[in-house]
Amino acid sequence: MTDSQFDHQAIRSQFPALQQQLGDNPLCYLDTAATSQKPQCVIDAMNHYYRLDNANVHRAAHQLAARATLQYEQVRAQVQGFINAASTQQVIFTHGTTESINMVAHGLTDLFKAGDVILVDSAAHHANIVPWQALAQRTGAKVIPIPLDANGCLNLSAYDALLTQVPKLVALSHVTNAMGTINPVKAMVAKANNVGAMTLIDGAQAVAHLNVDVQAIDCDYYVFSGHKMYGPTGVGILYGKLDALEKLTPMLTGGEMIKTVSFEGTSYTELPNRLEAGTPAISAVIGLGAAITFLSELPQALIHQHEQQLIGYLQQQLSQLSDISVYGVTPNNDNIGAVAFNLADEHHQDVGILLDQQGVAIRGGHHCAMPLMQSLQIKGCCRASIGIYSNQQDVDRFIHALTEVKSILL
């Protein structure tokens, strides 16, 4: 398949940030796993809200508030369709994946006791590790990591063995942020369900690349962020089965989420408002809706094929360079979105800085996945990650720039 089969350049041209120069070089953006660039339609939707519809939602009788509320709730329905939730009541707006996971970890506190087991993906982002550690500290529960194999992937045999401990909750990544490894979450959730465990899936790295069906996965909670899927920062989603969401004690209390308040006591309103205290990030929610519209109008099968071929090409080109170590490539080669690597024993930050001087933006560090880095016996690594706007020219420029970096450092 070539880019011209679905006019890839027309897609790329909708992202104004990609048209800029960095010094003498055009921007080559390979840091989408950290945050995606935004299409013009997302920028326009947020601008339109602030210019013409700026009002708080759900609260006033005037027309601006009615327009803002309509747009806000329409996005909830969009998200429902985007992830195939059964009801809009199951879609909770948050400020991002991190807040979503913390809301669940905080909200389940009263259901945990000393000795309860929480199984956590060892390759997970810190946001899907630390909240469970905090829950364990509050309750006396214990967090047990699911071991990784030699490729940095979850050891499924070890997972099966850990399930015999009858965990109370299992927390997994759908796609790992550091290496783009796709985990078999549907099968893993089914096994967790068989032992009565609750399940939470971090989908932050998945929603921009895969068709997510939360009913098919059958997890209790699924969380993700808008800024990883071509939407704005400051907005995320907590999806939950209705009974799972009803279990949560609200982390935030205040306006909008109450039914009655008196000094004798307070009662909370129904879902989803019960978990959305205070003024939400209205413009960001509207921007998220524009991003979903943008994605839904693209040829999904061709986009997925393009991204898979581009990741394969990136892996292939890196493997042809000497002194390069590539991490986390699975036997089935089904990684998506990102490739992790190091140049000999050179510090990842040095590599990233020298690439930036040639207009190439990648990420260097532990990628908020320090347990994974420890498992790989490295302190950190470089990560090149792609989006729907990325093309072969980006990869070729990156490889050329990395070759220049090699000549400087080695």
* Concatenated DSSP letters of 314-372: HHHHHHTSTTEEEE---TT----SEEEEEETT--HHHHHHHHHTTTEE-EEE-TT-HHH
**pLDDT band for position 371 (cuts 50, 70, 90):** very high
120-148 pLDDT, tens digit per residue, is: 999 999 999 999 999 999 999 999 999 99
- The candidate with the shortest Cα–Cα distance to 141, out of 130, 149, 132, 150, is 132
Instruction: Report the chain's mean pLDDT, rounded to a whole number.
Output: 95
The two three-digit tokens of residue 268, written as one number: 């909370």
Q: Which residues pair with 327 in a beta bridge?
A: 340
Query: Given 3.40.30.10, 3.40.630.30, 3.40.50.720, 3.40.640.10, which CATH number is that of 44-296?
Result: 3.40.640.10
Q: What is the pLDDT of residue 4?
A: 47
Q: What is the pLDDT of residue 1?
A: 37
Per-residue pLDDT for 5 more than 90? no
Angle, helices 40-52 vs 282-296, to 10°: value is 140
Token pair 């470089």: residue = 382
Domain topology for 3-30+299-409: Aspartate Aminotransferase, domain 1 (3.90.1150)
Supply the residues annotated as catalytic: 368
Q: What is the pLDDT of residue 2?
A: 43
Q: What is the pLDDT of residue 224?
A: 98
Separation between Cα atoms, residue 319 and residue 315, nearest integer Å: 6
154-187 pLDDT, tens digit per residue, is: 999 999 999 999 999 999 999 999 999 999 999 9
Separation between Cα atoms, residue 297 and residue 344, nearest integer Å: 43
Angle, helices 97-107 vs 130-139, to 10°: value is 20
Separation between Cα atoms, residue 114 and residue 135, nearest integer Å: 11
Q: What is the pLDDT of residue 331?
A: 64
Would you list the domain boundaries of the chain? Answer: 3-30+299-409, 44-296
Q: What is the pLDDT of residue 328?
A: 86
237-285 pLDDT, tens digit per residue, is: 999 999 999 999 999 999 889 899 999 999 999 999 999 999 999 999 9
**pLDDT band for position 335 (cuts 50, 70, 90):** confident
Separation between Cα atoms, residue 321 and residue 247, nearest integer Å: 52
Q: What is the pLDDT of residue 12?
A: 96
